[in-house]
Amino acid sequence: MANDVWVYIEHKDGNASPMSFELLGIGKELADNLGSSVCAFVVGENVENIAKEAFSYGASKVYAVEDGVFKGFRAEAYAKAASFLLDKYKPEITLFRATSQGTDVSAASAASLGFGLCTDSIGIKVDGGQIKLTRAAFGGNYTVTVVNEKAKPQITTVRPKAFSMPEKDASKQGEIIKESFSIAESDLNTKVLEFIKSEVALNLVEADIIVSGGRGVGGDDGFKMMKELADVLGAAVGASRAAVDSGWISYEHQVGQTGKTVKPKIYIACGISGAIQHLAGMRTSDCIVAINKDPDAPIFKNASYGIVGDYKQVVPKIIEKFKTKLNK
């Protein structure tokens, strides 16, 4: 239906990225307000299992394009298939997660349909029949709410973890609508040669707990201690720009304006002063613990719990307590 809410489902090697069902929750809420249905859509080689999983997270229908040419993810191929579906069915709004894949496909689809999109939404609501999208601007110092009057369908990417994951109910079923759409391999511009898996097991953006170090941790040894605490907690390791620029840890760990935006349940900031560029990337974390020598560090104004002290003394003590209390 024309005012349905669509959610793009990401997958890799035939398995859906579990977090991409996250948006079916807010999608359902929007659809209820619009008097329509939440539908998933997926592009791939074999999407049957992914579709079934989407039903269990609340999708009432799954629109799919299935073809061998879509075996592995390629932005241009997936975007062509996505824009074909969106142009044909013109849902009211389409939600993508603001991941690399979601951003690539949504941007290219919007451009080929001939309009702009709202990126990295953190709030979505229906107000007087109109969809209002809210995003953070300028390092999270402001929020900006926009409406999209011209674009049909509207497209937005949504910040990972901005909305909670819907409950899974394996008994739920729905209808799969398969569209035949293909592209000749020779018409495609790109070919994936290989994928080199990262040594960093945990994805910073998806992590529930992050232990982050800044200039104050002083070097590689400091980050060994961050890693040790992270291992005890099953956490990912983050870093401020100062730490990355000093070469103590690689860029993929950087949190903040020129790094990643994260929203874990627990964020432990060690030796991070809390410059606005860093806060921009982590201020919406559920619980922030700050450990810093300087009692005037701005991070304390944003912390749920602050500890004024040298991390070299505080962190080992915390590690020891966690090990005892968690029987590790």
Partner 1 sequence: MKIVTCIKQVPDTEAEIKWDIPKGTLKRDGMDPIINPFDEFALEEALLTRENYDGDIIAISMGPEKASDVLRNALALTVNEVHRLTDEAFAGSDTYATACVLASAIKKIGDVDVVFCGKQSTDGNTGVVGAELAAILGYSQLTYVSKVRQIDAANKKIVIERAIEGGIEVIEAKLPAVVSVIKGINEPRLPNLMGIRKAAKIEIPAWNADDLGIDKAKVGYEGASTKVVEIAVPPPRGAGEILKGELEDIANIVTDKLIDLKVIK
Cα 249 to Cα 246: distance, rounded to the nearest angstrom: 8
* Binding range to partner 1, per CB under 8 A, among 48-56, 60-68, 171-179, 205-213: 205-213
Pairing of strands 118-127, 154-158: parallel
Amino acid identity of 297?
A
Helix (H) or strand (E) holding 98: none
- Smallest gap from Cβ 258 to partner 1, in A, equals 5
Candidate segments 20-28, 33-41, 59-67, 132-140, binder of partner 1 by CB under 8 A: 132-140
Query: Number of residues in contact with partner 1, rule: CB under 8 A?
Result: 96
322 binds partner 1 (CB under 8 A): yes
287 binds partner 1 (CB under 8 A): yes
Told to check if 171 binds partner 1 by CB under 8 A, we report no
Selected range binding partner 1 among 36-44, 46-54, 58-66, 117-125, rule: CB under 8 A: 117-125
Strands 266-270 and 287-292: parallel
**The two structure tokens encoding residue 83:** 């824009």
Q: Which of residues 12-71 bind partner 1 (CB under 8 A)?
A: 12
293 alpha carbon, distance to own chain's centre:
32
Decide if 274 contacts 298 (C-beta within 8 A): yes
Taking residues 298 to 317 in sequence order and writing x for each that binds partner 1 by CB under 8 A, - otherwise, the string is --xxxxxxxxxx---xx--x
Which one of 198, 219, 224, 294 is in contact with partner 1 (CB under 8 A)?
A: 198
Binding to partner 1, residues 69-98 (CB under 8 A): 75-76, 79
212-251 positions binding partner 1, by CB under 8 A: 233-234, 244, 250-251
Pick 84 or 177: Cβ nearer partner 1: 84
Binding segment toward partner 1, per CB under 8 A, in 33-41, 51-59, 165-173, 296-304: 296-304
Contact 96, 8 (CB under 8 A): yes
| Cα(275)–Cα(266) distance, integer angstroms | 19
- Spacing of C-alpha 173 from chain mean position: 26
Among 175, 178, 258, 294, the residue binding partner 1 under the rule CB under 8 A is 258
Which position among 266, 293, 298, 312 is part of the footprint of partner 1 (CB under 8 A)? 266
Among 3, 90, 151, 227, binds partner 1 (CB under 8 A): 151
Angle between helices 220-233 and 311-325 (to 10 degrees): 20
Q: How far apart are CA 160 and CA 24, in angstroms?
A: 13
For partner 1, which residue of 176, 205, 225, 226 counts as binding (CB under 8 A)? 205
Q: Could you say whether residue 185 binds partner 1 (CB under 8 A)?
A: no
Query: β-pairing, 15-16 with 11-12?
Result: antiparallel
Q: Are 250 and 204 in contact (CB under 8 A)?
A: no
